[in-house]
Amino acid sequence: MVKNLTNVTSLSGNGMRDWLIQRTTSVILAAYIIFLLAFILCHQPLDYMTWQRLFSHFGMRLFSSLFLLSLFWHAWIGLWTIVTDYIKSASCRLISQLIIIIALFLYFIWGLVIFWGTPL
Amino acid sequence: MSKRPINLNLLTIRFPITAIVSIMHRISGFFLFLVIPVFLAIMALSLQSPEAFFTVHSCFAHPLVKLLILAFLFALFYHLVAGIRHLLMDAGVGEELKPARLSAVLVIVLSISLTGLMGIYLW
């Protein structure tokens, strides 16, 4: 019998959904990372103009935002799994989950500021 | 009590390769989580101004920084390749014991080779 995930700290509240989100975001993360690595390797020696022009492109800003959202979600599900597996004390677990989700949220906002704040 | 053989000698217990690949996927993922702020700081600096970009660029020429980048790239490549293995298994490819062991070895070999290639490239 499949039991529903009753843990309140799971963002989606459903293990099946978490599983699917983890896979979907992984594909986006992989695409972004492979694209970025390929770009850097194809533009050696890399200069500021090329680098800045790439990130000031509107499509790239959208891609970067999608990357940040995927990173936030993917890292949360991964870290949530690790924390619920290894930290048995409920208070320690809740505190670490709180620290992790706040950190990830701030990274997300910081990333948005970086990618949308790049001068045109 | 059942008469099953019990082996609690930690020196003779060895994890199967698939278990090692699995736990390393976790460890590399946790490591990558820790590196997120460093990555964001580098992105912020490199996009801030030509001067800041130059500073980052010259920092990357330092041998110690290159080693740190390689450590990061190894974690990244490992997590990426092991993740692709996971996706393939989810799709029903290579779920049997034999191909699972083979792909586990492949994950290690591939991630080390990719990191090695990047190392040669960086130096």
Chain B nearest CA to A8, separation (Å): 22
Contacts of A46 (CB under 8 A, 6+ apart): A40, B57
Region of poorest pLDDT, from A4-13, A38-47, B37-46, B86-95: A4-13
pLDDT of residue A120: 66
Region A38-48 average pLDDT? 93
Q: Which pLDDT belongs to residue A62?
A: 97
Backbone dihedral angles phi then psi of residue B7, each to the nearest 5 degrees: -130, 105
The string of pLDDT tens digits covering residues B52-98 is 999 999 999 999 999 999 999 999 999 999 999 999 999 999 889 99
**Which fold does the domain A15-117 belong to in CATH?**
3 helical TM bundles of succinate and fumarate reductases (1.20.1300)
- Alpha-carbon span B13 to B25, nearest angstrom: 21
Instruction: For chain B, positions 23-42, list CB contacts with chain A under 8 A.
Output: 26, 29-30, 32-33, 36-37, 40
Higher per-residue pLDDT: A2 or A57: A57
What angle is formed at CA A46 by the lines to CA B115 and CA B52, rounded to 5 degrees?
105
CB distance A32 to A103 below 8 Å: no
- Interface residue B54 vs chain A (CB under 8 A): yes
Domains, in order of start, for chain B: 35-122 (1.20.1300.10)
pLDDT greater than 50 at residue A1: no
Percent of chain B with pLDDT over 90: 84
pLDDT at A4: 54
For B73, nearest residue in chain A (alpha carbons): A37
- All structural domains of chain A with their residue ranges: 15-117
State the pLDDT at residue B1: 59
Instruction: Please name which of A74, A73, A94 lies closest in space to residue A83, comparing C-alpha atoms.
Output: A94
Chain B residues with CB under 8 Å of A82 CB are: 26, 29-30
ipTM here = 0.90
Question: 3-state DSSP call for residue A46?
Answer: coil
